[in-house]
């Protein structure tokens, strides 16, 4: 059986949240992912969006604060979360570089005790403004350093997912796939959709009326990155596709589409 991975930006509790919750849960039932990275998750007194999403499912969950939620009068935390089919045995937190303008971001890494050995799984959400590539470059550099420092040696390739708010031809995404250096640093991760996806792969798409309100072009900004496969082929991206990309009775799961990938878990 492959290792099944999903990433989804939840759009916090905006729009018709209760109806969107049902759509997201239905997609998780359909895909049955082993590992899920969520962004824009809210948590606070009597509020736990991810807890409600995975309720009734056998997932282990970790959450990391990124910033206070901006809604007036709210004391909620806005951040990233991970749901794992298998036990989480370690967590590490990373505060990402920022512009000192009040927008703060984070990355959550967990070590998972899986049937294929230890897996390092990281979820993150980078700065969103279109002109802030300089900040995202500093963020991916810090992110890659953490992932490479924590990855299990000679084990399953590390996984890094999230809303990177950058298109594939940007310096920050080219850096992660080995096509661009930042300073004197260079790394390589497989972009799962680039390796095994089909089509444009837009995850911010004007087909979705929730996204269309922002007047931004269609783009691919949500990713699953995987370290290079082992010599036995573990971690090879076997398939990847855009998911959570349909409407039912006018309700879409989120303003972002998700990305889902299946990775080889047995020696070739």
Tell whether the torsion through CA atoms of 205, 61, 150 and 265 is positive or negative: negative
pLDDT of res. 268: 85
Neighbours of 234 (CB within 10 A): 19
pLDDT of res. 154: 79
pLDDT of res. 156: 96
Assigned domain for 18 exists? yes
E strands of the chain, at which residues?
A: 3-9, 35-44, 47-48, 60-68, 77-84, 88-95, 106-114, 117-125, 159-163, 190-191, 222-226, 237-243, 258-263
For the chain, which ranges sit under pLDDT 50? none
pLDDT of res. 155: 85
- Look at the chain and report how many structural domains it folds into: 1
The predicted-structure confidence for 151-209, as pLDDT tens digits, reads as follows: 998 789 999 999 999 999 999 999 999 999 999 999 999 999 999 999 999 999 999 99
CATH number at 237 reads 3.60.10.10
**What is the pTM assigned to this prediction?**
0.97
The predicted-structure confidence for 38-56, as pLDDT tens digits, reads as follows: 999 999 999 999 999 999 9
Assigned domain for 268 exists? no
pLDDT of res. 38: 99
pLDDT of res. 153: 86
Q: Which domain holds residue 165?
A: 3-263
Question: DSSP label at 204?
Answer: B
Assigned domain for 202 exists? yes
Assigned domain for 216 exists? yes
């Amino acid at each position: 059986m492959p290792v099944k991975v999903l990433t989804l930006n939840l759009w916090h509790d905006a729009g018709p949240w209760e109806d969107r919750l049902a759509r997201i849960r239905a997609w998780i039932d359909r895909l049955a992912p082993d590992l899920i990275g969520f962004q824009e998750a809210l948590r606070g007194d009597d509020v736990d969006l991810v807890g409600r999403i995975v309720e009734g499912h056998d997932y282990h969950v970790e959450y990391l604060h990124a910033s206070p939620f901006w809604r007036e009068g709210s004391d909620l935390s806005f951040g990233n979360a991970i749901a794992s089919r298998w036990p989480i045995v370690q967590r590490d937190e990373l505060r990402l570089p920022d512009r000192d303008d009040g927008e703060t971001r984070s990355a959550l890494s967990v070590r998972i005790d899986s049937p294929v050995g230890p897996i390092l799984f990281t979820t993150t959400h980078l700065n969103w403004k279109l002109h802030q590539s300089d900040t995202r470059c500093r963020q991916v550099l810090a992110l890659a350093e953490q992932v490479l420092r924590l990855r299990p040696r000679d084990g399953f390739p590390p996984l890094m997912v999230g809303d990177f708010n950058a298109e594939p031809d940007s310096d920050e995404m080219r850096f992660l796939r080995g096509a661009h250096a930042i300073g004197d640093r260079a790394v390589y991760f497989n972009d799962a959709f680039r390796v095994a996806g089909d089509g444009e792969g837009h995850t911010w798409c004007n087909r979705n009326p929730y996204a269309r309100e922002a007047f931004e072009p269609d783009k691919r900004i949500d990713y699953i990155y995987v370290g290079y496969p082992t010599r036995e082929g573990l971690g090879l991206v076997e398939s990847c596709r855009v998911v959570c990309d349909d409407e039912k009775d006018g309700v879409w799961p989120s303003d972002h589409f998700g990305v889902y990938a299946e990775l080889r878990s047995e020696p070739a």
